Structure 1
Amino acid sequence: MFIINLTYKTELEKVDQHLNEHIEFLNEQYELGNFLASGRKIPRTGGIILSKVENKSELEKIIKKDPFKTNELADYELTEFIPSKTCDELKFLME
C-alpha cells in the first residue's frame, strides 16, 4: 500500500484549469481498483491518495498519466507502508 503525497508547485489557478482532467484520471484509477481514497490537503497545497498498487514502479507508471504530473503542476512523494492494524471496516487492507 502507498500514500501518495501531492504538493502543488504552481498557483491554484493553473491547478484548477486541469482539475476536471485530474478527476477523470482519479475516477479511472478507482474503477481499476488502484486507488482507495483521495482528497485535498487543508490548506489547499496539494492532495493525498491512498493506493493499493503493490509495487512502486507500477504506481510510478500510473502517476505519469495524471494531468497534474504531465502538466508539471505537482510533485509526488510515495510512501510505502504495510497496515498492521485497522478498524473493522478496513480489515481488507491487511489481506
Structure 2
Amino acid sequence: MSAQKFTEADLKRILREGAGTEEGVDLDGDILDDEFAALGYESLAMLETGGRIEREFGVTLDDDVLIEARTPRALIDAVNVLLVPAGSV
C-alpha cells in the first residue's frame, strides 16, 4: 500500500461533496475537535462520508468507526490507522 495519508483537507472536501455544509458552519475554521452533530452531520451524512472515504482511499470502515469517531480528528486518525502499510508498524 502507498504512503497515502488522509488529511483534514481530504475530510472537509469529502464532507462538502457528499453532504454539503450546514448554514452557519465554517468548515474552514478549527473544527478538528467539534462533534460532527454540532457541525450538522448526522448519521446519514456520516454514512455517505464513510462510503466516499472507502472508495477514494481503498479502506473498509466498520460501522463502529463511524459511530465512535464523533469528531473530525477521531475519524482522520481512524482512517490513517487503516492506511498504514502492513509491516511498517
The question of a shared fold, defined as TM-score above 0.5 by the shorter chain, is answered with no
Which is richer in helix? 2
Give the number of the structure whose alpha-carbon radius of gyration is greater: 1
TM class, shorter-length:
0.3 to 0.5
Which is richer in strand? 1
